[in-house]
């Protein structure tokens, strides 16, 4: 199941979807809002998606993961909007007959998701500044 949502991620619902008699392993990864990044304090994160494309890219990731590992179910939920410290921004859940495949598929899904799915985050720093995270900075300042 693929979902982009403005609501809080409900891990209970996800774990229920991953419950299967055929599975010997369930792997659930949560990405959460961290307070400290390289010495700077975060107040909150804001996530923005290109929803049509993000859903399409997530569905493609599921297809590719299923081709690589013998997995039974894939659940990916990404939250958008403003998130407080400690809240989950993304959940990736996988089940499979054996744990090695579930771990590997889950790891690959979250890593590839962060690289290819058009979802961005903005840091709301404790010093009052805000900053969209577009790796490869510095740039994007007018005239820079």
Task: Name the residues that contact another protein, by CB under 8 A.
Answer: 48-50, 52-53, 56, 67-70, 101, 104-105, 107-108, 111-122, 132-136, 139-144
Phi, psi at 85, each rounded to 5°: -55, 140
Give the closest residue to 63 by CA, choosing from 14, 108, 20: 108
Closer to another protein by Cβ: residue 12 or 115: 115
Closer to another protein by Cβ: residue 48 or 87: 48
Packing angle, helices 99-116 and 51-68, rounded to 10: 150
Shortest approach of another protein to residue 58 CB, angstroms?
A: 12
Between CA 11 and CA 124 the distance in angstroms is 26
| DSSP state, residue 8 | P
Shortest approach of another protein to residue 75 CB, angstroms?
A: 18
Within 10 Å of residue 139's Cβ, how many Cβ atoms? 7
Shortest approach of another protein to residue 8 CB, angstroms?
A: 20
Between CA 76 and CA 93 the distance in angstroms is 6
Between CA 89 and CA 13 the distance in angstroms is 16
Shortest approach of another protein to residue 72 CB, angstroms?
A: 13
Closer to another protein by Cβ: residue 15 or 85: 85
Closer to another protein by Cβ: residue 28 or 60: 60
């Amino acid at each position: 199941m693929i979902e982009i949502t403005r609501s809080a991620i409900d891990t209970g619902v996800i774990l229920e979807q991953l419950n299967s008699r055929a599975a010997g392993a369930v792997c659930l990864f949560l990405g959460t809002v961290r307070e400290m990044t390289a010495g700077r304090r975060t107040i909150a994160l804001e996530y923005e998606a290109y929803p049509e494309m993000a859903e399409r890219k997530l569905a493609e990731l599921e297809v590719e993961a299923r081709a690589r590992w013998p997995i039974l179910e894939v659940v990916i939920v990404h939250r958008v909007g403003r998130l407080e410290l400690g809240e989950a921004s993304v959940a990736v859940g996988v089940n499979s007959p054996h744990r090695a495949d579930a771990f590997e598929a889950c790891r690959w899904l979250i890593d590839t998701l962060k690289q290819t799915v058009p979802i961005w985050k903005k840091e709301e720093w404790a010093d009052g500044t805000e900053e969209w995270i577009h790796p490869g900075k510095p740039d994007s300042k007018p005239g820079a």
